């Protein structure tokens, strides 16, 4: 395990009380996702801290758990992009030599997810951003930048590859995030973030070839987290089994 004297990880867990109308796996719930997050968060030890960003009223059961684990910042139902920009401001107030992770509340995490995230940042110093989600788009799209070409790395006993984009759940080096914050703000002008535009611009890819300095975003193979969309679950992981393992953990009930 990496020493706790290394860069601290500040996690911002963005949550809403309700849910949208997306199709979901039958085992999905926001409580399940929260418990999976906490299981992975606990594995990271004292190096990680969490602030829960609650956009609107929260159910009592989830709120009670959050209150025992981290700090809570409450917003009055701002919506997706506005609450993200508020959270971005909180993240940018952290020391520039720290690590940041933004988490949406509909992701299922494997137990070693944050330990692996820290290893990626520690062992791959040229990497600026890290996602824990091996997006299925990388296996199905034909319009990725560089025709889908990736560089592959090993860190923390895990394979990582460069990817052209991810969602709004990701890790960052704070000083890089500070330099690129203008992209994050412009890309979240509509209520639904234009995440692919954000990441192409951040990395200076395709129509954003003019952007300098260019950044590097890597993702894991196999995935360490999954967005709970049955059409987009990362391959080669039995996510229902991961959910079952979380359910068997009687912490945070």
What CATH number is associated with residue 228? Answer: 3.90.550.10
In a domain, 3, yes or no: no
pLDDT classification of 22: cutoffs 50, 70, 90: confident
Q: What is the pLDDT of residues 195-222, one digit of tens each?
A: 999 999 999 999 999 999 999 999 999 9
What own/partner pairs with CB < 8 Å and gap ≥ 24 does 47-51 have? Answer: 47/2, 47/4, 47/6, 47/8, 47/9, 47/118, 48/8, 48/9, 48/10, 48/11, 48/114, 48/118, 49/8, 49/9, 49/10, 49/11, 50/11, 50/12, 50/13, 51/10, 51/11, 51/12, 51/13, 51/90
In a domain, 87, yes or no: yes
**How large a percentage of the chain has pLDDT more than 70?**
98
In a domain, 24, yes or no: yes
pLDDT at 9 over 50: yes
Taking the C-alpha atoms of residue 48 and residue 171, their distance in angstroms, rounded to an integer, is 12
Q: What angle do CA 44, 69, 168 make, to 5 degrees?
A: 65
In a domain, 196, yes or no: yes
pLDDT at 134 over 80: yes
> What single DSSP character describes residue 24?
-
Count the domains in the chain: 1
> What single DSSP character describes residue 233?
P
Whole-number pLDDT of residue 4: 40
In a domain, 57, yes or no: yes
Q: What is the pLDDT of residues 94-129, one digit of tens each?
A: 999 999 999 999 999 999 999 999 999 999 999 999
In a domain, 4, yes or no: no
Whole-number pLDDT of residue 17: 94
Question: pTM for the complete prediction?
Answer: 0.96
Distances (CA, A) of 149 to 85, 138, 144, 161, 230: 31, 10, 8, 10, 26
Backbone angles phi, psi at 53, to 5 degrees: -105, 105
In a domain, 166, yes or no: yes
Domain span including residue 147: 9-248
In a domain, 2, yes or no: no
């Amino acid at each position: 395990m990496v020493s706790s004297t290394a860069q601290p990880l500040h996690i911002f867990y963005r949550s809403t009380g309700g849910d949208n109308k997306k199709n979901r796996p039958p085992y999905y719930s926001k409580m399940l996702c929260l418990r999976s997050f906490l299981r992975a968060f606990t594995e990271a030890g004292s190096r990680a801290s969490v602030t829960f960003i609650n956009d609107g009223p929260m159910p009592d059961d989830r709120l009670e758990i959050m209150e025992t684990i981290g700090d809570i910042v409450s917003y009055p139902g701002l919506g997706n992009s506005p609450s993200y920009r508020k959270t971005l401001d909180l993240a940018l107030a952290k020391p520039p030599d720290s690590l940041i992770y933004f988490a949406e509340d509909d992701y299922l995490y494997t137990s070693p997810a944050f330990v692996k995230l820290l290893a990626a940042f520690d062992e791959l110093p040229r990497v600026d951003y890290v996602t824990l989600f091996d997006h299925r788009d990388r296996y199905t799209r034909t319009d990725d930048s560089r025709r889908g070409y990736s560089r592959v790395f090993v860190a923390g006993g895990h394979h990582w590859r460069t990817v052209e984009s991810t969602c709004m759940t990701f890790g960052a080096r704070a000083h890089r995030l500070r330099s690129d914050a203008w992209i994050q703000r412009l890309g979240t002008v509509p209520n639904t973030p234009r995440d692919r535009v954000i990441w192409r611009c951040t990395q200076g890819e395709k129509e954003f070839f003019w952007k300098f300095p260019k950044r590097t975003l890597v993702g894991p193979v196999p995935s360490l987290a999954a967005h709970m969309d049955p059409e987009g679950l990362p391959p080669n992981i039995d996510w229902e089994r991961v959910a079952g393992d979380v359910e068997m953990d009687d912490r945070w009930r």
